[in-house]
Amino acid sequence: MTMTTHSEEETAGVGLRLASQLQPGSVVLLIGDLGAGKTALVRGLAEGLGVAPDDVSSPTFTLMQQYRGGRVPLIHVDLYRLDDAREIDELGLEELGIDSVLAIEWAEKLPRPVPGAVTIRIEHRDGDERRVSVSGPGSP
């Protein structure tokens, strides 16, 4: 499913609606350039899961953040600063995500495909326009 958004809030709304379909163990892979809106979408995911969305910032400098208190815990990972496949492997994302929803920015850096994951590609168009395509479990 592909849609066009025209604001940060609209992109967050895609995450908000997706959240209702997620459960512990769900993985959401986010692919798109810097400033595309990946973190904005995760903010919507957080809101949909019942986690305070204002707490969600880009974990670019912290690599990983966990948010509890929602219907399902959310783990938000940003692989921007990791380039070594072994380093990424050592994060142990598969085990970490078992009880949580795992949202991964720069997921194209993952060394292996993640079976059953939802993949979201965000493409920067003119100005505030973004093309958001969602594929994988639960999307038509």
Q: Which residues form the interface with ligand ADP (CB under 6 A)? A: 5-8, 10-11, 32, 34-40, 58, 105, 128, 130
Least gap, CB of 23 to ligand ADP (angstroms) = 24
Q: How many residues bind Mg ion (CB under 5 A)?
A: 4
Candidates 53-61, 81-89, 91-99, 119-127: pick the segment binding Mg ion (CB under 5 A): 53-61
Of the pair 40, 114, the CB lying nearest ligand ADP is at 40
> What single string gives the DSSP state of each residue in the chain?
-EEEE-SHHHHHHHHHHHHTT--TT-EEEEE--TTSSHHHHHHHHHHHHTS-GGG---GGGTSEEEE-SSSS-EEEEE-TT---HHHHHHT-HHHHTTTSEEEEETGGG-SS--TT-EEEEEEE-STT-EEEEEESTT--
Candidates 11-19, 21-29, 97-105, 117-125: pick the segment binding Mg ion (CB under 5 A): 97-105
Candidates 16-24, 34-42, 61-69, 90-98: pick the segment binding Mg ion (CB under 5 A): 34-42
In the complex, the residues that contact Mg ion under the rule CB under 5 A are 38-39, 58, 105
